[in-house]
Amino acid sequence: MISSFEFMNRSEKDPKRIIKAAMQEEKYGAHSVRPCKGGGILVEGTFDKPFSMEILCRILRDTGKCAEKLGVARLFYAGCAITLYRNGRVDVHRAQSTEEAIEILDEVKAIVREAFVQGD
């Protein structure tokens, strides 16, 4: 993987690509992985902090599935399947674009914010 600086030097002639690449890199490290069987694409990203699975499972009790011991939770939001992992990793299945996935992650982050492990 190349750094933002290297990418910018290679793409000086196309400012739209520079802005798009920088935006994707800054927000959750989101990147498209592969097409989904049910349509759209799978986008992987990572939140800044890990989750307290006990709290996350309590938040998602009525809206999703949660396996506290396995450290994974799943919910459906805005037509996409969202998988949240204890370490903060997140997958958005069936997104139409990376940009759409980032918008969905912004909204999901607000829903589960109380479950993030608080640092020192």
In which domain, by residue range, is 55 found?
28-115
**Is residue 55 in a domain?**
yes
3-state secondary structure of 54: helix
pTM: 0.76
Alpha carbon separation from 58 to 37, 61, 65, 82, 107 (Å, rounded): 30, 5, 10, 16, 18
Distance between CA atoms of residues 10 and 13, nearest Å = 8
Distance between CA atoms of residues 3 and 113, nearest Å = 29
Q: Residue 82: which CATH number?
A: 3.30.310.10
**Is residue 13 in a domain?**
no
**Is residue 14 in a domain?**
no
pLDDT of residue 72: 97
Q: Which two tokens stand for residue 5?
A: 């600086």
Over residues 6-22, the pLDDT tens digits come to 444 444 455 555 445 44
Over residues 18-38, the pLDDT tens digits come to 445 444 455 888 888 899 888
Full 3-state SS string of 7-51: HHHHCCCCHHHHHHHHHHHHCCCCEEEEECCCCCEEEEEECCCCE
**Is residue 15 in a domain?**
no
